[in-house]
């Protein structure tokens, strides 16, 4: 056989591999409004940069008709390429091949790719479209799923991992995204562990895919999804944007992106946006967009735990992770969902050398039977743990209310924050004035001839003492009381000053790892 014949043979294999589950099935997917698996990859990566690996690999099962077919590639297209000229590893499940189900070879392919990404320090991107563990392969398919989970966990904290869910993501397929750093769901996609048929059999209840695990549910209620997008195209451009803020691995700094926005730009509109009366709400996102370069803020978990806001921005070109209470939603109270959202984000930033800027305006942790029974103690503890554990530069700005445990939790000096700023409107106290007066003067108020007059007097006294940043600054818990209009500049200066921070976590006693409250 000459070279030409040999290459023809390669091409025959190649064509079969590219065909996936066949032209009919590709067409069916297209009619559902879904992109072809290879188009997804090509649209995400820089042009012509994709190099595919293991496109010949196939299953070795012989049960339930699998002895009669060979799907080269085994239902997942995997390889590497570049995004903005930076190396990334990528795999994309092909629903046309046995519903994108995860067989032994499929799982091993993904796991090996993630291992290569870890070894080379490059981000992992997974495009999910799968019916879960491949039923025909039995335990071998479960092993394939387990191998993916294992490598996701090993990669965690070493390279960023981003999952995009573009179709069904069922059973075992759902746990891989859940182990990654960010989950982006296209609006029409859905994720579940047990499907509607199992729910019906177990509980006698009828549910649709959307009700069970549609993108809206996961973005707002379960918190599984960090982002939701209208369509596949916008999900792919979101991956590119998200990566632009992140380093390729935990040994690198995030890329610095030059900006025309002057670091000493005053924020005079702040006086209009933030009321001095701490009970009047404002939208903290307006403040964030004034602080960051060009007002460009990528919010994470926008629809989940909405009394807190987290996300990425840049200040003077440096990536920062911003964590803020949102006074426009429940006065910025920290509830269970907000706790989970903040803690997870802080831990991500800490893993990948991203400084954390915390903006505080919160009346405290959310009161109530539901919250206590749901474990606000356990979930709130995650926030304390995450801040205390983080060794990246931590800058906190107390904007207005910072009461009680929530003051401590939100990046206080006590938990190891590096520089703590306050606006003149800051109020740091064990609790808000009204509650404090009622507890301190319960008996006096009950007996007073004019309780309202007494309450007014005591409130004024309390405000004089605590409803300002100066007691905290006198005691050294606040480093600087700043003009709100200079916030961007002041944070930038602190970032510059902390750039060379090297902190060994105080718990230098050798240990395997801590026991984060989960």
Residues that bind ligand HXC (CB under 6 A): 98-99, 101, 131-136, 168, 170-172, 175, 193, 195
User: Closest approach of Cβ 516 to ligand HXC, in Å?
Assistant: 22
Cβ atoms of residues 310 and 345 within 8 Å: yes
Identify which of residues 224 and 421 has a Cβ nearer to ligand HXC in the complex: 224
Spatial distance between the Cα atoms of 256 and 453, rounded to a whole number of angstroms: 57
Spatial distance between the Cα atoms of 104 and 60, rounded to a whole number of angstroms: 8
Spatial distance between the Cα atoms of 511 and 503, rounded to a whole number of angstroms: 17
Identify which of residues 172 and 398 has a Cβ nearer to ligand HXC in the complex: 172
Identify which of residues 134 and 379 has a Cβ nearer to ligand HXC in the complex: 134
User: In the 8-state DSSP scheme, what is residue 302?
Assistant: T
Identify which of residues 24 and 474 has a Cβ nearer to ligand HXC in the complex: 24
User: Closest approach of Cβ 98 to ligand HXC, in Å?
Assistant: 5
User: Closest approach of Cβ 176 to ligand HXC, in Å?
Assistant: 10
β partners of residue 33? none
Identify which of residues 170 and 342 has a Cβ nearer to ligand HXC in the complex: 170
Spatial distance between the Cα atoms of 155 and 145, rounded to a whole number of angstroms: 15
User: Closest approach of Cβ 134 to ligand HXC, in Å?
Assistant: 4
User: Closest approach of Cβ 179 to ligand HXC, in Å?
Assistant: 11
Q: Count of CB atoms within 10 A of residue 416's CB?
A: 16
Identify which of residues 135 and 486 has a Cβ nearer to ligand HXC in the complex: 135
Spatial distance between the Cα atoms of 457 and 362, rounded to a whole number of angstroms: 25
Spatial distance between the Cα atoms of 343 and 287, rounded to a whole number of angstroms: 22
User: Closest approach of Cβ 281 to ligand HXC, in Å?
Assistant: 41
Identify which of residues 123 and 132 has a Cβ nearer to ligand HXC in the complex: 132
Identify which of residues 197 and 452 has a Cβ nearer to ligand HXC in the complex: 197
Identify which of residues 132 and 313 has a Cβ nearer to ligand HXC in the complex: 132
Handedness of CA 455, 456, 461, 463 (dihedral sign): positive
Identify which of residues 191 and 287 has a Cβ nearer to ligand HXC in the complex: 191
User: In the 8-state DSSP scheme, what is residue 260?
Assistant: S
User: Closest approach of Cβ 110 to ligand HXC, in Å?
Assistant: 14
SS3 content of the chain, % helix, strand, coil (to 5): 45, 20, 35
Identify which of residues 175 and 348 has a Cβ nearer to ligand HXC in the complex: 175
> Buried (b) or exposed (e) across 66-88, using 16+ Cβ within 10 A?
beeeebbbbbbbbbbbbbeeeeb
User: Closest approach of Cβ 10 to ligand HXC, in Å?
Assistant: 28
Identify which of residues 175 and 477 has a Cβ nearer to ligand HXC in the complex: 175
DSSP letter string over 435-459? HHHHHHTHHHHHH-SSHHHHHHHHH
Residue among 123, 124, 313, 127 nearest 235 (CA): 127
- For residue 307, with 0-12 CB atoms within 10 Å meaning exposed, 13-18 middle and 19 or more buried, which class applies? buried
Q: Count of CB atoms within 10 A of residue 138's CB?
A: 15
User: Closest approach of Cβ 337 to ligand HXC, in Å?
Assistant: 23
User: Closest approach of Cβ 304 to ligand HXC, in Å?
Assistant: 22
User: Closest approach of Cβ 138 to ligand HXC, in Å?
Assistant: 11
Q: Count of CB atoms within 10 A of residue 391's CB?
A: 14
Q: What is the dihedral of CA 489, 494, 495, 498, to 10 degrees?
A: 170
> Residue 347: which residues within 8 A CB-CB, separation 6 or more?
386, 389, 390
User: Closest approach of Cβ 99 to ligand HXC, in Å?
Assistant: 2
Spatial distance between the Cα atoms of 195 and 174, rounded to a whole number of angstroms: 12
């Amino acid at each position: 056989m000459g070279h030409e014949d040999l290459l023809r043979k390669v091409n025959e294999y190649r064509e079969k591999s590219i065909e996936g589950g066949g032209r009919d099935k590709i067409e069916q997917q297209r009619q559902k409004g879904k992109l072809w698996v290879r188009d997804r990859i090509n649209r995400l990566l820089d042009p012509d940069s994709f190099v595919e690996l293991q496109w010949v690999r196939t299953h070795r099962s012989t049960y339930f008709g699998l002895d009669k077919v060979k799907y080269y590639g085994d239902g997942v297209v995997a390889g590497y390429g570049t995004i903005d000229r930076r190396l990334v590893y990528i795999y994309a499940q092909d629903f046309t091949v046995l519903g994108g189900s995860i067989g032994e070879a499929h799982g091993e392919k993904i796991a090996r790719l993630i291992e290569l990404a870890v070894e080379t320090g490059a981000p992992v991107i997974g495009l999910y479209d799968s019916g879960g563990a491949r039923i025909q392969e039995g335990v071998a398919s479960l092993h394939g799923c387990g191998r993916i989970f294992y490598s996701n966990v090993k990669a965690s904290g070493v390279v960023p991992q981003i999952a995009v869910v573009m179709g069904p993501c069922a059973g075992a397929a759902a746990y891989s995204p859940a182990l990654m750093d960010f989950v982006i769901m296209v609006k029409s996609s859905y994720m579940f562990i047990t499907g509607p048929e199992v729910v019906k059999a177990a509980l006698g209840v009828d549910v649709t895919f959307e009700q069970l695990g549609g993108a809206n549910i996961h973005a707002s209620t379960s918190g599984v999804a960090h982002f939701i997008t209208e369509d596949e195209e916008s999900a792919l451009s979101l991956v590119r944007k998200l990566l632009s803020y992140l380093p390729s691995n935990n040994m690198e700094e995030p890329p610095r992106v030059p900006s025309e926005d002057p670091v000493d730009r005053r924020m005079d509109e702040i006086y209009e946006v933030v009321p001095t009366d701490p009970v009047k709400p404002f939208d903290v996102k307006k403040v964030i967009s004034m602080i960051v370069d060009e007002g460009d803020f990528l919010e994470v978990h926008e629809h989940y735990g909405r009394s807190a806001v987290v996300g990425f921005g840049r200040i003077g070109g440096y990536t920062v992770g911003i964590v803020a209470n949102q006074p426009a939603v429940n006065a910025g109270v920290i509830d269970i969902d907000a706790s989970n959202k903040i803690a997870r984000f802080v831990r991500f930033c800490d893993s990948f050398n991203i400084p954390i800027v915390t903006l505080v305006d919160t009346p405290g942790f959310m009161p109530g039977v539901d919250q206590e029974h749901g474990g606000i103690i356990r979930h709130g503890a995650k926030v304390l743990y995450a801040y205390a554990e983080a060794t990246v530069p931590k800058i906190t700005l107390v904007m207005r209310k910072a009461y009680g445990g929530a003051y401590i939790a939100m990046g206080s000096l006590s938990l190891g924050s590096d520089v703590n700023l306050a606006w003149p409107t800051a109020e740091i106290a064990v609790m808000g004035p009204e509650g404090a007066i009622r507890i301190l003067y319960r008996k006096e108020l009950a007996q007073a001839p004019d309780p309202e007059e007494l309450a007014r007097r005591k409130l004024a006294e309390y405000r004089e003492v605590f409803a300002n940043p100066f007691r905290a600054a006198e005691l050294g818990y606040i480093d600087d009381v700043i003009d709100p209009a200079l916030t961007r500049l002041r944070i930038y200066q602190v970032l510059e000053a902390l750039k060379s921070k090297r902190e060994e976590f105080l718990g230098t006693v050798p240990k395997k790892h801590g026991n984060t409250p989960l």
